[in-house]
């Protein structure tokens, strides 16, 4: 009593389809999570949000959405890994916000599935302004998905 020859192929196709479905659903979950995190971070006005970050959102018009998001993630990573930034968050008892920034970086990277992005922006902006503009961009992206 053997298995039909088509069964392994059928199972493989089902598995591949399921993986694609799960990956697609994960993307649907990440964007609202990013917006939720940005809402939390932008509501809090703390001394650390006045620190300067690379203005990765000021990109040329020919920059793709994926590359812009990847640049934003890179700027966030370079920002929160800086010892002066870590000290500020620790000094003001805002380690939870630092953790949120790390999670935001991780989620942005997951959204675009890119790891190498240009990361040396000449212009600087405050973290507060950067997060506000990133939130607006993510809300616009979410609105486009819903319509």
**Tokens at residue 99, please?**
């953790």
Check residue 6 and give its pLDDT.
Answer: 58
Check residue 137 and give its pLDDT.
Answer: 94
Q: Which residues pair with 125 in a beta bridge?
A: 53
* Mean pLDDT to the nearest integer, 81-108: 92
In a 10 Å sphere around its CB, with 0-12 CB exposed, 13-18 middle and 19+ buried, how is residue 123 labelled?
exposed
Residue with tokens 């809090």: 44
Residue with tokens 């591949």: 16
Which domains can be identified in the chain, with CATH numbers?
16-146 (1.20.1250.10)
pLDDT in tens, 50-69: 999 999 998 888 888 899 99
The pTM assigned to this predicted structure is: 0.77
pLDDT at 48 over 50: yes
Residue with tokens 């008892």: 93
Name the residue with higher pLDDT: 147 or 12: 147
């Amino acid at each position: 009593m053997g298995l039909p020859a088509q069964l392994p192929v059928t199972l493989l196709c089902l598995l591949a389809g399921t993986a694609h479905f799960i990956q697609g659903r994960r993307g649907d979950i990440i964007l609202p999570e990013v917006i939720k995190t940005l809402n939390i971070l932008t509501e809090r006005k703390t001394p650390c949000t006045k620190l300067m970050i690379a203005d990765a959102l000021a990109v040329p018009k020919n920059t793709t959405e994926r590359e812009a998001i990847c640049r934003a993630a890179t700027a966030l990573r370079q920002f929160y890994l800086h010892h002066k930034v870590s000290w500020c968050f620790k000094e003001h008892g805002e380690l939870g916000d630092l953790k949120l920034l790390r999670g935001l970086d991780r989620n942005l990277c997951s959204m675009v599935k890119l790891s190498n992005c240009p990361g040396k922006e000449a212009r600087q902006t405050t973290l507060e302004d950067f997060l506000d503009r990133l939130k607006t961009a993510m809300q616009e992206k979410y609105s486009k998905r819903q319509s």
